[in-house]
Structures are given as C-alpha cells and as structure tokens.
Amino acid sequence: MHSLIQLSIVVLLLPLLSFVILIFFNRRLPRRGDFVGVGILGTAFALSAYIFWTVIVQTYDPAFRVAWDFTWIDLGQVPGIGPLQIKMGIVIDNLTAIMLAMVTLISLLVHLYSTGYMAGDKNYGRYYAFLGIFTFSMLGIVLSDNLFSIYIFWELVGLSSYLLIGFFFEKDSAADAQKKAFLANRVGDIGMWLGILILYSQFHTFSFTEIYANLAAGKFAMSNAWLTAAGLLLFMGCVGKSAQFPLHIWLPDAMEGPTPVSALIHAATMVAAGVYFVARIFVVLTPDALHVIAFIGAFTAFMAATIAITQNDIKRVLAYSTVSQLGYMVLGLGVGAYSAALFHLVTHAFFKACLFLGSGAIIHAMHHEQDMRWMGGLRKHMPWTFATFTLATLALAGLPLTSGFMSKDAILAGAIGFATAEGGGVYYLIPVLGFFSAMLTAFYMGRQIWLVFFGESRTHLKPADDHHSAHHAHSTHDTHNDDHHAAHEVHEVSWNMRAPLVILAALSVFFVYSPNPLDGAQGWFMKMIQTPPTVVGSYQSAPSSEKLAVGSQQSATEGENSALSTQHSALSEQHSAPEAEHSALSTQHSALKESTQHSALTNERQAEIAHASHAAHFPAIYISSIMVILGITLAGIVYVFRIIDPDKTAEAIRPLYLFSLNKWYWDEIYDATFIRGSMLISKMLSWFDTNIIDGIVNGVALIVKKVAFANNSFDKYVVDGLVNFTAFSVNTTGAVLRKLQTGKVQTYVVMLLAVVFGYFVFYFTRLIY
C-alpha cells in the first residue's frame, strides 16, 4: 500500500473517531469536548496538508494517481445478476489531494469558529459530533474509487446535513427545513442509484477505472440513449445535492441550521460534492447529457441570482448566491470546462465559507438578527469582519485580482468556446445567462455589503412585534433580553471567530492560485487538473467537421502517449504562450485518440471546445469585467447614491419584484403540483383502503363468520351428537355387560359352558338342517 493511501485512511477515520468520542462522552469531557473535535480536525488537516504538499507541490504531475482497493463483499454468482462483488477503495489523484486539503481546512476552521459561535448551546457537544460525522462522510466521497462507496458516503453526508439543518429542532421551521432537504435529496439520489445500476448492469463493476476502461473498449451493449440516460440519472444525484434546478428549493431553507454549518456543508463542501461527483463521472457523460447539464447549470445560475436580489435575510442572499455559483460550476462541467469548474469549486468554497462565517459573525454580534433591513453601519463596529467579508464579496462578484475572477472567467470562456464550437444559435444562451448572472451577482453582493456595513444603524426601525417574534424564535440560544440595546452592543467577534475569516479571505486572493491575476490557466490548479479524455462513443456535429479534420491530422503527426508527459513538463517549466499551450492540449487529445479509438471524435470535440475557449479567454475577461463593474455601479446607484429609489423601483416593476421575492414561486408550484398531487393520491389511496380493501377484508370476515356459525351448528348437533351417541351406546352396553362380570369363578365357568353349549347347539342345528 502506498504511504499516501495509508495516510489518507488515517485522515478519513480521524473525524469518525471524533464523532464516536463526542457522541458518547461529550457530557463527561470538559467544555463538552470541543477541543477533541478541533484537535482531531487539526491533525487531519495537517496530514491532508502533507498529502497535498507531496502530491501537488513535490510531484507536480497532472497524471499522478495512486489507488488501492479490497473486496468488501463477495456474493459470488448471484442468480439473475451475475457475479456480484463489491469493492471498497481509495484513489488519490490531484483532484483528491486538493479536495482533501480543502475539506479538512474548512472543516477545521468551522470547528474553530464554532467554539465562539455555538458557545453556550445546550447541545454543544452533539454539534461537534455531527460535524465529525459530516467531515468523515465528505472525505469518504472525496476518496472513493467506486460508485458504490461514493453512494454510501453520499447518503451519509445527506444524513449529517439532515441532522445539522435540524440542529435547533425545537423550531418548527428547522424541523421542516431538514425534512425538505432530506426529501429533495432523496429524489435526486434515487436517480443517481438508477444511474449506477444501469452502469453496473452493463459492466458488473462499480469501480470508476473499470467502468471507464469497459466503456472505452466499447462494451456498453445498449444504445447511446441509454448511456445518456445513465449520465443524466447520475447527474440527478448532483441536482439534488448541489441544489440545481429543479431540486434547488431545499438549500435556502437549509439556512435554518447553525451558520457555521451553512458555511461548511451548505456552501463549501457538501453541495460541491455534487459537482465533484459529476467531475468524477465526467468521462462517462455523452455530449447530449452534457448539453442538458450545461443548460440546467446556466438556468440555475441565472434564476438563483435573480432571486438573491430581493431577499432580505442575510443568509438567504448567500444561499441563493451559493445555488447560483453551483449553477456556474455545473454549467462549466456541461460545456466541458472541466478544470475551470473544479477551480471554481475550490475558490468558491473558500470565499463562500468566508462569507458565511462573516455573516455568522454579524448575526452573532447582532444577537441573532438576520434581516438586512435592520442592520447597517456595522463597518465601524466590526472592522475585521468588514474587511474579510468585503474581500470575499469581491471574489464572489469576480473582480480582477481575486480568485473568483479567474475561476469564473475560465468557466465563462469555456461557455463562449462551447457556444462557438456548437455553432452558436441557442447555445449562446448559456454564456449570455452566465454573464448576466455575473452582473446580478455583483449587484446583489453590492446591495448586501451596503445594507449591512454602510449607512446608519437601522435597528430601531424594526417593527416591534416583528422583532419580538423573531427574537422569541431564537430564544433557545440568545441570552439577551433587551432588544433595543442590540445596536449599541455590537462589537467585533473574538479571535477564534476572526482567525478563520482572515485565513479564508487570504485564500480568496489570486496569487494563491496563479501568478497571473488575469489567467487562471497559468496557475498550478488548472495545470494539475486536466480534462480527462472522454470514453463515450463518437460524436459529430456538422459545422465543426472541418476543424475535426485538422485535429485528426495533428494526431497523425504527433505521436505516442509518452509525448504527452514531456509536453506537459515542458509546459510547466516555461508557463508558455497561449499557442504552445493549446497545441499541448490538442496533443494530449490526439495522443489519447490512439489509445481509445472509439471515443476519438468526442475527444476531438473536447479539444475543439478547449481551443475555442482559449480564444474566448480575453473576450470573456472584458465582458465579465464590464458586467461586474456594471453590477456594482448599479448597486451603488441604487443603494449608495440613491439615484434610483429601490422601493419605488420595486413598486414600478411590482410583478417582477414579487416574482423574485417569492423565489419564482417554486415552492408554491411544487406545493400545488407535487405536494398537493401526492396528498390527493394519498387521499385517494386512503379512500380505496378504507372502502375497497377494508370492504373486502370485512366481507371476507363476514363470510368466515357465517361459515363458522354453520360449522358450529354442525359441530354441536352432528359431530357432538355422533360422539355423544357413541359414548352413550358404549355406556349402556357397558352397564349391561358389567353385570356379567361378577368376579366369581363359578359364574365364568357357567358362561364358558353356556358358550360351548351354545356352539354345539348351533353346530348341530346346522348339521341337521
């Protein structure tokens, strides 16, 4: 076993240990055992950082991969299924190493942050236990090398998410939100499981590498439509977990959980697991499936951004922003901007965690006031929070010099490239929606920053009864009773809540990822994460056949697989010019063509999209910068200079405003269709049950009763009569016969003689006649 594998197993099991210790012993430990959680996560992070260092910094090889597995369950030949052998395994490649470090780092920071935020909660110890099991499950997803174990951990993160959303389960809204999250995820997971089963039915394996190899060898016996269906069903898991349309409805409600949990699970890691999963199965996805994914991502990004504009709850804005950014990532994967999407996953994880923890600090300081309308002027009171929150906001909006700028532009460039390669038309909708969402992002984040940090405090403007009820709802963890002193008591949070903010904000700056603030592709991340060659069948689109021919020629001239690695090492040394890079990219794809003839054309398409994306790099930068600046300017016009009054504008476009405020009425639509529908079906089934099924049962019972009654009579009079008659006759006979038994020998002798005499009489009578 590779030493990195051993290390990663330790990293995986450490949070589980934390969970076990804390769930059983938290009441016996000082401080409810929070130091156990923080300490264990610190260790896990240190080990992950070592893995990261070894894999990314020291090895620096895009093709790095170590794997290990063992047979977990071997059922041999199962009738109707074939050989059923379930393996568990661990794979470490560049993506895993990055995710490992990211998850443990954010988890560690959230653990640390929670020592301040959750202090004094009555279920403090259990909270840390839940964080432990979540981290364990998330690391399991990241390390899994097969679909089966990823599904297990997938459900485990769902469970931990459920537990943590409903952490304040005394509140009805929290209990409802956790149920909603669980059910929405269930819908997605069913699809994911069906997708896994389709692939299993073909290949009899869950392992990623074996599935890829089988698929590349053309062993998929069913039609391409089935492969598309399998890809889309697997994508349904992502739709549920990463809150994509149409299952996005649970994520904003999930904000009922503690804010650090929102940062860890519902912004940085778990929701990104969907994107991670799609990246893992990326090579299985057919072009058709990718198109659907791209459109769903684009639509989600746009829809969530429009909703975020009008929300008043500070966490809900961030929640819709998360949905929107996840839409970007899915969009990125859909258009084939694989590394860009994963890059955005990582950068988003850091700045969004920073935003959530920042909002947690604000909520904490405001004594659990979450409504931005009653905030304002916090800049002076909370300078650290303000600085970090603003930096993360800039990253989210995608201003140059931030990490978000690089990753988002890479995705948008990919979207433009995709639209160009596909021949335009409706495909341009994807980049257009992407850019428009970028503007909306800048706008709503500008609005949030202004409402929260600038201006005067508006605490006193809050309607009293509203305030009271809100206050009452949070009374479980709020010790302050004096409402109106809140504004005066606002002060900066303590160091253990500030340190995570600073670290996360620092990770939102460009130089962490790339030396060139305008081009993420020159950074280590996008060099380490390369688009894997697809293994699905050939794909041909009419307008691009000319370019395909060019690509094939290149592949003929360029050579072996080995050429690939040399090309890459050369590349990493010189941070070469765009032309060289593109040629390297196409070389990779052409080289892979040799090994997988079957999927060659699709890979050519990937190369082509990559080429077009590269060409679109600078246009993307310009357009998105303009959009961001436009968005921020608009926010400034509306909220800073108040040239346009937001309330009057809202009145002027009231239908649109309400449409956005009510979240596009998705909840109402689902309520009217699925919920009412299932209620109606339930009622119908209930009626059927009470009247038909119960009727049948009662009818049968009645028949049985009648039969039993008849049977009883028969038993009583006929059977018992016969039995009694037999007894009676035996009794009577006995009574007669017993007279004969006198006990006297002489009587017997007489009887004997009488019988003998009788016999003689009989015999002689016969003789005579």
Partner 1 sequence: MEHLVPIGLNHYLTISAFLLGFGLFAVMTRKNAIVVLMGVELILNAANINFIAFSKYNGGMGGIMFSLFVIVIAAAEAAIALAIVINIFKIFKSVDVSSIDSMKE
Which residues lie near partner 1 (CB under 8 A)? Answer: 741-746, 749-750, 753
- Which amino acid is it at 627? M
Instruction: Output the smallest distance, CB 711 to partner 1, in A.
Output: 43
Distance, in Å, from the CA atom of 402 to the CA atom of 509, rounded to the nearest integer, reads: 5
- The residue (of 491 and 744) whose beta carbon lies closer to partner 1 is 744
Nearer to partner 1 among residue 662 and residue 741 (C-beta):
741
Alpha-carbon distance of 451 to 366, in angstroms, equals 14
Smallest distance, partner 1 to C-beta of residue 768, A:
21
Q: Match 């909006």 to its residue by tokens.
A: 397
> What is the Cβ-side half-sphere exposure of residue 451, based on CA atoms within 13 angstroms?
23
> CA 533 to CA 606: how far, in whole Å?
8
Question: 444 with 317: CB under 8 angstroms?
Answer: yes
CB of 730 to partner 1, least distance (A): 20
Bridge partners of residue 86, in order along the sequence: 73
Rounded CA separation 484/177 (Å) = 30
User: Least distance in Å: CB of 753 to partner 1?
Assistant: 7
Q: Which CB, 745 or 768, lies closer to partner 1?
A: 745
Residue 556 or 753 with smaller CB distance to partner 1: 753
Q: Please choose, from the candidates 119, 157, 318, the residue with its C-alpha nearest in 3D space to the C-alpha of residue 237.
A: 157
Q: How many CB atoms lie within 10 A of CB 13?
A: 15
- H or E segment at 66? strand 65-78
Token pair in block for residue 557: 């001239």
In order of 368, 423, 500, the CA distances from 256 in angstroms are 12, 44, 22
State the residue for tokens 């269930």.
186
Q: For the CB of residue 761, give the shortest distance to partner 1 in the complex, in Å.
A: 17
Distance CA 577, CA 592 (A): 23
| Residue 733 CB, nearest approach to partner 1 (Å) | 18
- Residue 175 and residue 166 in contact, taking contact as beta carbons nearer than 8 Å: yes
Q: Which is nearer to partner 1, 28 or 744 (CB)?
A: 744
Distance from C-alpha of 84 to C-alpha of 143, rounded to nearest angstrom: 22
Residue number with CB closer to partner 1 (30 or 743):
743
What Cα–Cα distance (Å) separates residue 769 from each residue in 687, 701, 758, 762, 766? 88, 69, 16, 11, 5
CB of 714 to partner 1, least distance (A): 41
Alpha-carbon span 221 to 227, nearest angstrom:
10
Nearer to partner 1, 669 or 750 (CB): 750
Among all chains, which residue has been given the structure tokens 């990822």?
Answer: 513
**Angle at the Cα of 320 from the Cα atoms of 315 and 322, rounded to 5 degrees:** 90
**Shortest distance, CB of residue 752 to partner 1, whole angstroms?**
10
Our measurement of the distance from residue 566's CA atom to the centroid of its chain's CA atoms, rounded to an integer in Å, reads 38
| Residue with smaller CB distance to partner 1, 80 or 743 | 743
Cβ at position 750, least distance to partner 1 in Å: 6
Q: Which residues contact 155 (CB under 8 A, 6 or more apart)?
A: 189
3-class secondary-structure state, position 78? strand
Closer residue to partner 1, CB minimum distance, 687 or 757: 757
Q: What radius of gyration, in Å, describes the C-alpha atoms of the chain? A: 37
From the CB of 756, what's the least distance to partner 1, in Å? Answer: 11
**Min dist. Cβ of residue 703 to partner 1 (A):** 55
Q: Which is nearer to partner 1, 481 or 746 (CB)?
A: 746
- By beta-carbon proximity to partner 1, the closer residue of 690 and 742 is 742
Map tokens 């909270």 to a residue: 127
Q: Which is nearer to partner 1, 693 or 753 (CB)?
A: 753
Closest-CA residue to 325 (of 390, 397, 264, 253): 397
CB of 747 to partner 1, least distance (A): 9
Tell me whether residue 401 or residue 753 sits nearer to partner 1 (CB atom): 753
Measure Cα distances from 401 to 621, 631, 739 in Å: 12, 17, 126
CB of 728 to partner 1, least distance (A): 24
Joined tokens for residue 5:
């594998």
